[in-house]
């Protein structure tokens, strides 16, 4: 995993990217969405780190309760966390998109879900 300084830089860069994407949100709503943007940025960076781990080590691992037992495949905890965090990220992006004027909603959501250029 990335060290804290590197992670904070990545989060800040993602916050800037999302702020630009959602700049057309009405001024009276910007205080509300600033927290959503921060949370979305944090989730995105965590998801990217988890994706690297899952890509390198896979979704499943051999697991055994004791050395006398035959190991079996089980889903790695990071894969479960990834799925849960991904759902949270999708919900936050949906909330942000709902604050946009209607004509801007779909393009902003597509761009927010992209962002693969950060790592």
At residue 18, does pLDDT exceed 90? yes
Question: What is the model's pLDDT at position 119?
Answer: 47
Q: Considering the entire predicted model, what is its pTM?
A: 0.80
Choose between 26 and 10: higher pLDDT.
10
Question: Who contacts 52 (Cβ-Cβ below 8 Å, separation ≥6)?
Answer: 119
Reported as a single tens digit per residue, the pLDDT across 48-65 is 999 999 999 999 998 888
Domain edges within the chain: 4-112
Name the residue among 26, 2, 77 with its Cα closest to residue 14: 2
Cα pseudo-dihedral 49, 116, 6, 11, rounded to 10: -100
For 22-61, where are the alpha helices, taking DSSP H only? 30-57
**Mean pLDDT across the chain:** 88
Name the token pair of 74: 């089980």
Hey, what are 90's tokens? Answer: 């999708």
Q: What are the tens digits of pLDDT across the range 62-86?
A: 888 888 999 989 999 999 999 999 9
What average pLDDT does range 21-38 have in this prediction? 90
Shortest CA distance to 44 belongs to which of 82, 3, 76?
Answer: 82
pLDDT > 60? residue 13: yes
Q: Which of 47-56, 82-91, 105-114 has the lowest mean pLDDT?
A: 105-114
């Amino acid at each position: 995993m990335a060290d804290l300084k590197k992670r904070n830089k990545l989060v800040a860069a993602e916050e800037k990217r999302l702020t630009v994407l959602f700049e057309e949100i009405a001024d009276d709503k910007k205080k509300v969405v600033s927290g959503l943007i921060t949370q979305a940025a944090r989730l995105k960076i965590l998801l990217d780190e988890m994706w690297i781990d899952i890509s390198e080590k896979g979704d499943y691992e051999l697991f055994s309760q004791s050395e006398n037992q035959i190991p079996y495949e089980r889903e790695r905890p990071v894969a479960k966390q990834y799925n849960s965090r991904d759902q949270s990220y999708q919900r936050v992006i949906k909330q942000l998109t709902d604050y946009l004027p209607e004509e801007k909603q779909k393009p902003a959501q597509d761009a927010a879900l992209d962002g693969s250029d950060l790592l």
